Amino acid sequence: MERRKFIKNIMAVSATVAVPSMVFADLNASKKTVSTIEGNTTRKVSNIPTVKGTNDLPYEEALKAIIGEAELKDAKKVKLTVPEIAENGAVVPVKVSVESPMTQEDYVKSIHILNTKNANSRCVDVMLTVKNAEAKFASRVKLAESQDIVAVVGLSDGTFMKVAKSVKVTIGGCG
Amino acid sequence: MAEKRRAIVKIKPKKYVVGDIVKVSFMVQHPMETGMAKDKETGEVKSAHYIEDITFSFEGEPFTKMKVWESISADPFFSVQYKVEKAGKITVDYTDNLGEKNTKSKKVKPKKAKTENA
């Protein structure tokens, strides 16, 4: 008999413990949804799905905006130096050098550095002149994930050259 | 806004003569916020703050212009080449998206060229 009572008691206790906790859990859940519907936390909620900068531009569009409908060559004259593996995506060194005489007739007009998967795929546009005497540029960029770095070089005759290299990023560097 | 930014303009190599091509590099202390990162303590999204335009000029004549977006690292660094023609001053002007304008300059002092007949 004692054993039966004991089991009964245990059952009762466990029930009383379990039921309220479930009820509270439900209440908590409902509170959360209500608050979001009411809009108390609309600012935070809206921030989560739309993690976007002010001037987002996917890679394809950015490339189109730069070259328009001009020719695009895959050139050997452009040398793009990036690390194969970047441990920290917040600082990825990029070097571009272009073989060019840099005279008034034939010079490198611009160097554009793009990435393929960041929210804003444009990094920097450099407009060079003859006074630079050598078409070389170096900087450091942020990469959110493993992707390609693309250097688009515009020449004075209106043609463009493109070189792409992939970078493996172990820790993303965009927020 | 009134926060003062530390910037450096460097010319390498240190010794050069007229006609040499030197590397002009420009570094500045700037947060370069993308507008996507969250504050770790408050959880609020930090507003975007990045450099937009950079102009390198020699004695008022611009020789390199840059248009910059958020994807450049914090405390950015840029370098270009320049052919020294005479003594003067290289000035770098930079503007960020909040309208903060600053300049930094560096004197160009070419050494006297060695006479070849000596």
User: Would you state the pLDDT for residue A6?
Assistant: 73
Same domain, A123 and A166: yes
What pLDDT, in 10s, does the model give residues A22-53?
A: 444 444 444 433 344 434 333 333 333 344 55
Residue A52 lies in a domain: no
Residue A54 lies in a domain: no
B76: contact with A, CB 8 A cutoff:
yes
B70 CB burial (10 A radius; 0-12, 13-18, 19+) = buried
The residues spanned by each domain of chain B are 7-108
- Strands A78-81, A135-141: pairing kind: unpaired
Minimal C-alpha gap between A8 and chain B (Å)? 49
Neighbours of A65 (CB within 10 A): 11
Tell me if B92 sits within 8 A of B77, measured CB to CB. Answer: no
Tell me if A78 sits within 8 A of A111, measured CB to CB. Answer: no
Query: What's the Cα-to-Cα distance from A67 to each of A26, A62, A112, A154, B73, rounded to whole Å?
Result: 56, 9, 10, 8, 25
What is the span of the domain harbouring residue A9?
2-47
Same domain, A97 and A118: yes
What pLDDT, in 10s, does the model give residues A94-135?
A: 999 999 989 999 999 999 999 998 888 889 999 999 999 999
B21: contact with A, CB 8 A cutoff:
yes
Could you give the number of structural domains in chain A?
2
Neighbours of B95 (CB within 10 A): 15
Looking at domain B7-108, what is its CATH homologous superfamily?
Answer: Immunoglobulins (2.60.40.10)
Q: Do A142 and B25 touch (CB under 8 A)?
A: no
Same domain, A85 and A114: yes
